[in-house]
């Protein structure tokens, strides 16, 4: 299996792309603040999932990268909330993105709770 086949990766990648296209319409003065931050955090979610999958030989590393991914997902939700309150996105768009982000969070947490289902070797001791 490739990391690109993981449901959490696919959903987080799609969410990051939605945010990218949406944020193209944010004001220019937000380029190096809100726009950059929401793009970076949303992209980091799937990037950390891919890193976790490659580190699955070591359970603690696997879990660590997934918790990083979960944290980036939470950060993305914060930037989406700012986007809503700054009136850059509609309430409907916000709700849809938050629903997608929550689904990603549930998938990440499932991976954290069930590392063996993702090829994580439970018998290998971490060094």
Domain 3-116 has CATH 3.40.50.150: no
Q: Residue 102: which of 63, 76, 65 has the closest Cα?
A: 76
pLDDT at 122: 66
pLDDT at 119: 87
pLDDT at 99: 98
pLDDT at 127: 44
pLDDT at 43: 98
pLDDT means per 10 residues, the chain with 127 residues, are: 94 98 96 95 98 94 97 98 97 98 98 93 55
Question: What residue segments make up the domains of the chain, in order of their start?
Answer: 3-116
């Amino acid at each position: 299996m490739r990391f690109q086949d993981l449901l959490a990766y696919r959903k987080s990648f799609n969410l990051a792309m939605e945010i990218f296209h949406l944020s193209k319409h944010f004001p220019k003065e937000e380029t190096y603040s809100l726009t950059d931050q929401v793009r970076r955090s949303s992209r980091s979610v799937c990037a950390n999932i891919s890193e976790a999958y490659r580190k699955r030989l070591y359970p603690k590393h696997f879990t660590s990268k997934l918790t990083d991914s979960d944290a980036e997902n939470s950060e993305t939700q914060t930037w989406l909330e700012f986007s809503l309150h700054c009136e850059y996105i509609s309430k409907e768009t916000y709700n849809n993105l938050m629903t997608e982000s929550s689904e990603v969070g549930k998938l990440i947490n499932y991976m954290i709770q069930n590392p063996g289902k993702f090829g994580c070797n439970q018998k290998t001791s971490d060094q």
